[in-house]
């Protein structure tokens, strides 16, 4: 009697996952339905960051074939919520910029740079240089 009862319990335990299987399990693994984020990001390598009184001028890699230039107002670091954040560059990595978009609209930018301002990535823009885009409200990378 015990053997029959144990066999029935074991058989039911083996059958339970098959009975509980959802019909959605036949969907492809990449189909997440409504669980899709509207946040996206782009990473680009930074060649040089020019510091000025009101903005940073960043030279970055365009598809590995050219150099793009973007102006990032320093006021973005003081806004709430912040549009500009800095991260410490990990050892062995090149400096890079991450542009985060939400629903196709610019959200924020992260600059991952060496902390030491004497590093060759950092430079100071000559006084009196004309900077375009100091009053920008958005950031879009060019490829």
pLDDT tens, position by position, 61-94? 998 689 999 999 999 999 889 999 999 999 999 9
Radius of gyration of the chain (CA): 26
Q: With the CA atoms of 117, 93, 68 and 63 taken in that order, what torsion angle do they form, in degrees rounded to the nearest 10?
A: 170
DSSP summary character for residue 126 = P
pLDDT tens, position by position, 11-67? 777 776 766 655 555 666 666 666 678 899 999 999 999 999 999 999 999 986 899
Q: Calculate the alpha carbon distances from 121 to 39, 48, 57, 95, 124 in Å.
A: 29, 5, 12, 8, 10
What is the average pLDDT across 106-120?
95
Prediction pTM value: 0.73
What is the average pLDDT across 113-124?
94
Count of other CB atoms within 10 angstroms of residue 24: 8
């Amino acid at each position: 009697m015990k053997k029959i009862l144990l066999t029935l319990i074991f058989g039911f335990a083996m059958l339970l996952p098959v009975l509980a299987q959802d019909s959605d399990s036949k969907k492809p693994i990449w189909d997440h339905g409504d669980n899709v984020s509207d946040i996206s990001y782009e990473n680009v390598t930074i060649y040089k960051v020019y510091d000025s009184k009101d903005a940073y001028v960043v030279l970055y890699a365009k598809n590995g074939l050219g150099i793009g230039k973007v102006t990032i107002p320093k006021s973005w670091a003081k806004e709430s919520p912040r549009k500009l954040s800095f991260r410490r560059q990990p050892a062995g990595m090149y400096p890079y910029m991450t542009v985060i978009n939400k629903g196709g609209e610019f959200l924020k930018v992260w600059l991952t740079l060496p902390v030491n301002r004497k590093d060759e990535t950092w430079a100071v823009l000559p006084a009196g240089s004309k900077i375009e885009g100091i009053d920008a409200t958005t950031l879009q990378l060019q490829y």
